Structure 1
Amino acid sequence: MTRPIGYYVHHQGAGHLHRACAVAARLDRPCALLGTFAGLDTAGAPGPVIDLPDDRLADGFDGRDGEVERPTSFHYAPLAHSGLRARMARIATWAAEADPALLVVDVSCEVALFARLLSLPTLVVRLAGTRTDLPHLEAFRSADRLIAPFPEILESAATPDWVRAKTHYAGLLGPALAAPSGDDGSIAVVFGRGGAGGTLADLAAAARALPERDWHVLGPVTGAAAVPANLHLHGWVADVEPWIARATLVVGGAGDGVVAAVAARGKRFVCLPEERAYGEQVEKAHGLGRIGAAVVHEGWPEASRWPGLVAAGLALDPRRIGALSEPGAMARTAVLIAERAAWWERRGDAAPA
């Protein structure tokens, strides 16, 4: 019988789940998704969903998990946390019962290292940013292979050679597009689930600075302010792609999903990287700026800056960002996962007879 694959999904934002579902749907063997899915729609999952107990602290992170005493090979390991204990026990039980060929980890250093202790081969997703700290390097060392959801041209200069050599550069794992892009002169502003969203006063000021263009805002917006006629608030939408397809210019962070969608459509892009651990979005954004694929501004711009930023964005050659999109990237990644699963399946159990 063909052994299944597991896919661990991080709870931050919706991008990890979307990527997992898209890759899992292309696999040639069963794939179970494991993670904490509270508030996320898993109806589209192509296989079993293992909802894990939540291991988060009620008052947040910021080192409050016992940073002083925590082993240096972990990022997060609070003591006396029943949720974390139950979470790891559930992963171990699933591994023992399902006998998977391997586990894709997107992302968690602790789960990657725990899988190694379970003698379970892993493919670890390696996000952008400077990840040369000990927990990341130990997770990378423990993995069979690493998967980078970005093209090699955006690689960090700080990444060690041995990590690069172990990495499969998957490229931007974005949607498959069936129809050509249009262009209605609008600006699409995209806020993902993983960030703080936008502030209405800031958005209104930006729209007033360029009254000749319609601004379509996708994602959460907080605060109160008068809404100009050219500012359209759509809130959370299940699929931002149609709005991106119509826009002349896209404004958004440097999250994997947004960048992949913009590149797939070859849209001019003003990138406002959000604060993330290890400089993930800032480093990726500056990589895009370095190759002429985006105009980059850290933080939300003052209203007076918007005319210049939009003008600079419209002057971009959209072929630069479009060249980063590979229609077969998702399929190539699924092939890698399937090949490594088959290799470990052929290898069999290394325990002595």
Structure 2
Amino acid sequence: MTRGIGWYVHHQGAGHLHRARSVAAALPRPCTVIGTLAGFDTGGLDILDLPDDRPLGDGAFDGRDGAAERPEALHYAPLNHPGVRERAARIAAWAARTDPALLVVDVSVEVALLARLLSVPTVVVRLAGTRTDRPHLEAFRSASRILAPFPEALEGAATPGWVRAKTVYAGFLGAPAARATAPGEDIVVVFGRGGDGGRLADLAAAARAVPGRDWHVLGPVTGTGDAPEDRPANLHLHGWVADPEPFVAGAGLLVGGAGDGLVALAAAHAKRFLCLPEPRAYGEQTEKAAALARLGAAVVHPGWPAAEAWPALVQSARALDPATIGGLGRPDAVAACAAAIERIARAMGQT
């Protein structure tokens, strides 16, 4: 009997689940997706749903999860949190019941170390940014291999040599471009689930500053106003879109943060990219954006630009060679990643 694989997904943003879904479909053995999955589309997946482990409120902690008391190998270990306790129990029960060949951890230091205690081999996903703090390094040390969902060209200078040597650079794990569409003149702005979204007033100011192009905005936007002075005619708000690819495929310019999903889309479709990195722990987006800028793959601006800055930024981004960011993508990245995970499972003596 072929032993299955588990894939733990973090619930911040949708990118972790998208990665798991894409690679799981290419694996030659069954895969169970594990995580706090309420509110996500899990159709067609074998899942193990976990209770939420986010803070219950200030009164539930009383400082007992402070750095002075938390073990140095952990990032998040609040005391007296029933969700945290039940999560660990369900993962342990699943491991005992299914005897998995491997657990991919995307991402959690605590789940990686729990799996090691359960004697389950792990592949730990390492996101971009400087992750040289002790908890990250201990999770990497505990892993059979490390998986980077970005090309090696975007590797950060601070990453230790032993971590690099243990890393499989999977590349962007988004779906390859399903359609070849000639770029138009539209500007497509994408906000993901993991951030704060856009503000209508800022988007309206940007659209007024570049009036010769239609602006299509995907994702959450706050603020209201339907009067012409509130929403110019060239600004189109589409809200959350299940499949952004048709918009991205026809875009003349893609605008958004440096999240893995959007950068993968930009690379898959070889889109001129104006990257507005959002604040994330460990400099995940800012360091990735800096690497893109260094390679000439994107124009980068920290945060949402002022209205008067938009014309020059759009002009600079339009001057990019789209082949540069396109060259960072691999159409076979998902299949190659699945094959690498299978090799790791077999190297651990699993069938």
Q: One fold, TM greater than 0.5? A: yes
Q: How many angstroms apart in 1 are the aligned matches of 2:249 and 2:57?
A: 40
Contact 2:64 2:79 in 1 (8 A): no
Could you say what secondary structure the match of 1:181 adopts?
A: coil
* Aligned partner of residue 104 in structure 2, secondary structure: strand
Q: Which amino acid aligns with 1:42?
A: T
Aligned partners of 1:59 and 1:272: how far apart in 2?
32
8 A contact 2:179–2:249 mirrored in 1 = no
Q: Is 1:290 aligned to 2:294, yes or no?
A: yes
Distance 2:216 2:335 in 1: 32
Superposition deviation, residue 344 in structure 1? 2.3
- Of 268-277 and 216-225, the range deviating more from structure 2: 216-225
Q: Secondary structure at 2:113's aligned position in 1?
A: helix
Conserved in 2, the CA contact under 8 Å of 1:3 and 1:345? no
Aligned to 2:197: 197
What residue in structure 2 maps to residue 220 of structure 1? Answer: 220
Partner residue in 2 for 1:140? 140
Q: Paired residue for 2:179?
A: 179
* Counterpart residue number, 2:245: 241
Partner of 2:282: 278
**How far is the alpha carbon of 1:58 from its aligned partner?**
2.7
The amino acid that maps onto 1:337 is: I
Report the CA distance between 1:199 and its aligned residue. 0.3
Query: Partners in 2 of 1:343 and 1:161 — Cα distance?
Result: 22
CA distance in 2, matches of 1:107, 1:49: 16
CA distance in 2, matches of 1:293, 1:151: 13
Q: 1:302 aligns with which of 295, 302, 306?
A: 306
Would the aligned equivalents of 2:56 and 2:81 in 1 still touch at CA under 8 Å? no
- Tell me, in whole angstroms, the C-alpha distance in 2 between the residues paired with 1:83 and 1:273: 32
Q: Is 1:333 paired with 2:345? A: no
Provide the residue aligned with 2:26 in structure 1: 26
1:351 counterpart residue number: none
The 5 Å alignment of 1:315-334 reads 315-334=319-338
Distance 1:196 1:98 in 2: 38
In structure 1, the gaps of 5 or more residues are 349-353
Residue by residue over 1:284-310, the C-alpha shift from the partner in whole angstroms, topping out at 9 and shown as x without a partner, is 001000000000001100000000000
Q: Deviations over 1:188-212 (max 9, x none)?
A: 0000000000000000000000111
User: What are the ranges of 5 or more consecutive residues in structure 2 without an aligned counterpart?
Assistant: none
- Stretches of 4+ aligned residues off by more than 4 angstroms: none
Which one-letter code corresponds to 1:85 in the other structure? R
- Structure 1 residue 64: Cα displacement: 7.4
Aligned match of 1:82:
82
Separation in structure 1 between the aligned mates of residue 178 and residue 200 of structure 2, nearest angstrom: 34
Aligned to 1:50: 48
* Per-residue Cα deviation, 1:70-128 (whole angstroms, up to 9, x for no partner): 01111000011111000000000000000001100000011001100111100000000
Deviations 1:106-159 (A, max 9, x none): 000110011001111000000000000000000000000000001111101000
The residue that corresponds to 1:154 in the other structure is 154
Give the alignment's TM-score, normalised by structure 2.
0.96
Q: Is the Cα–Cα contact under 8 Å of residues 5 and 101 in structure 2 kept in the other structure? A: yes
- TM-score, length basis structure 1: 0.95
SS at match of 1:301: coil
SS of equivalent residue, structure 1 residue 65: coil
CA distance in 1, matches of 2:315, 2:326: 19
Which secondary structure state, in structure 1, belongs to the residue aligned with residue 75 of structure 2? Answer: coil
Residue of structure 2 equivalent to 1:312: 316
Amino acid at match of 2:48: I
> What is the rounded CA distance, in whole Å, between the counterparts of 1:44 and 1:23 in structure 2?
13
Is 333-342 or 85-94 further displaced after alignment?
A: 333-342
Which of 239, 254, 258 pairs up with 1:254?
A: 258
CA distance in 2, matches of 1:76, 1:23: 27
Partners in 1 of 2:284 and 2:34 — Cα distance? 23
Larger deviation, residues 288-297 vs 52-61: 52-61
1:169 corresponding residue in structure 2: 169
Question: Size of the alignment, in residue pairs?
Answer: 344
CA RMSD in angstroms comes to 1.3
Determine if contact 1:173/1:260 at 8 Å carries over to the other structure. yes
- Residue 216 of structure 1, CA deviation: 0.1
